[in-house]
Chains A and B, each alone.
Chain A
Amino acid sequence: MQILPFVVVVWILAVGLYGVVTSRHLVHLIVCLIVVQSSTYVLLLGVGYKTGAVAPYFFDIPNHTPAVDPVVQALALTDVVVEAAVTALLLAIAIQAHKRFGTLDPQELVELRG
């Protein structure tokens, strides 16, 4: 099926967002955010794929071999690094939130502040 990878993208996005919306624990929420972001990897790699093409590495194959789009692969790499950085920052904030409020339940955090 030609659009299956793109349907997978929106499915990963949807289950991740569902987790974010219904989350009762900040660490769980951060993991759900990682799931949301994972959908972008599938989208990027899916967009750049060419049927029958090889990886864009011409070390031992001729230069004109059809290869998949290297630009989206480089973007996926960027995506992974940014995700790791953002996750670390969010986890640090979660630690401080737990210290200050004594809970990691986002819904109780709202009540404490309001």
Chain B
Amino acid sequence: MTPGQRRWIFLAAIAALGAFYLWGLAGLPGFGNYPGPYGNIINRIAVAQTNATGVVSTVNFEYRGFDTVGEEFILFVAATGVAVVLRHLRDERERKPGGGRDDATDEGRSVPATSGAVRMVALIMTGPTVVMGWWLASHAQTSPSGGFQGGAVLATGFMLIYLAGQFLAFERVSPTDVTDAVEAIGAGGFAAVGLTAVAMGLPYLSNFLGLGAVPGAVSSSGTIALISFFVGLEVGAAFILIVSELLDQTLLIRQGSQ
């Protein structure tokens, strides 16, 4: 099939899809007229039921908690998948980590030296980014944050160390074994919170901890905060693993034996 033919077939198909879509749209309530009722009900009862003021996190870690376990394991399996797909092929070897990132040159490819400005900004930002990641992962119950966002920001903190030109330092502060273990603790912890409820004779992922006295306090909302913390660990570790696998491909692995 030539690219021209492919394009015409696509345009015909998308025109048909668009027509169906617009037809379906005619039966939907317009933008801004949310029909409910589930969102409205949850908004009304969530704070009273869980003492958490961030209803999106409450939906994720409480009402839809079981779905979120599955979602977390999607990320877990994807990180594993990246590691499996990028395993060393037979004719590959790992470069001796010699002089750091600026040294990563061969086969006519060279990594340009990191500029002083980038290095400076990355180093300044690392600390605050890690702190912000933890803050987000531990405030799911009160504000628009949570384990998923916090974990991603946390991983960014580690990426900044790489951006500061220190690939080896990046490997040192996040050794693969430790990151693997943290990821497993994060994923296993979430499942364990659910199983603890079962052991106490409650349904899976029931909120078995005290809800705290006041809605909106960091210590309120019981298992929501705990699950968010575990999700933060898992997401942060998974992203660090994925990125370091991809970086290994560029910086460490070379073709040919010796």
A-to-B contact residues, CB < 8 Å: 2-6, 10, 14, 17-18, 21-22, 46-51, 53, 55-59, 63-64, 67-74, 77-78, 80-82, 84-86, 88-89, 91-93, 95-96, 99, 107
Contact = CB atoms under 8 A, between A and B. Distances in A.
A47 B32 CA distance: 8
B148 A81 contact: yes
Contacts of B215: 58
Contact of A18 (B14, B33, B47): B14
Contacts of A73: 56, 59
Contacts of A14: 14, 17-18
A88 B43 contact: no
Interface stretch (B77-85, B96-104, B105-113): B77-85
Interface of B: 3, 6-7, 10, 14, 17-18, 21-22, 25, 28, 30-34, 36, 38-40, 42-44, 46-48, 53-56, 58-60, 64, 67-68, 71, 74-75, 78-79, 81-82, 85-86, 89, 142-144, 146, 148, 152, 215-216, 235, 238-239, 242, 245-246, 249, 255
A92 B142 contact: no
B34 A49 contact: yes
A109 to B, nearest CB: 14
